Amino acid sequence: QPVLTQPPSASASLGASVTLTCTLSSGYSNSKVDWFQQRPRMGPRFLMRVGTGDIVGSKGEGIPDRFSVLGSGLNRYLTINNIQEEDEGDYHCGADHGTGINFVWVFGGGTKLTVL
């Protein structure tokens, strides 16, 4: 099953841009990854899915255009432009793999984004 690796922390200034990375383990370069945002003391919410290129499908409900994704090799990127205070929180990536009894859904460790 894939392992998803995320840096534990990131920071960006108000109004700036930041790119968060989710790295798949070797052999999973075709895997699609979901990005989730978790604001402080709240449940996660779905942002969007990314494959080996651009977004797969549609963004989650109410996700602004400031959020975008890109996939390249083993990396799946989430970029936030014009960062707002409300963007502070944890960002998680997740992916499914396998079928039948071998199905799993795995998450990365999450990246804590601080807005300066």
Partner 1 sequence: QITLKESGPTLVKPTQTLTLTCTFSGFSLSTSGVGVGWVRQPPGKALEWLAFIYWDDDERYSPSLRSRLTITKDTPKNQVVLTMTNMDPVDMATYYCVRRLNWGSIDYWGQGTLVTVSS
Least separation in angstroms between residue 14's CB and partner 1 is 26
Q: For partner 1, which is the closer residue by CB, 82 or 114?
A: 114
Distance, in Å, from the CA atom of 54 to the CA atom of 50, rounded to the nearest integer, reads 6
Q: For partner 1, which is the closer residue by CB, 15 or 64?
A: 64
Residues that bind partner 1 (CB under 8 A): 34, 36, 42-46, 49, 56-57, 60, 92, 94, 96, 103-110
Enter the tokens of residue 32: 């699609």
Distance, in Å, from the CA atom of 44 to the CA atom of 97, rounded to the nearest integer, reads 21
Q: For partner 1, which is the closer residue by CB, 89 or 110?
A: 110
Q: For partner 1, which is the closer residue by CB, 15 or 57?
A: 57
Residue 76: which of 43, 41, 29, 111 has the closest Cα? 29
Distance, in Å, from the CA atom of 33 to the CA atom of 16, rounded to the nearest integer, reads 25
Distance, in Å, from the CA atom of 43 to the CA atom of 12, rounded to the nearest integer, reads 22
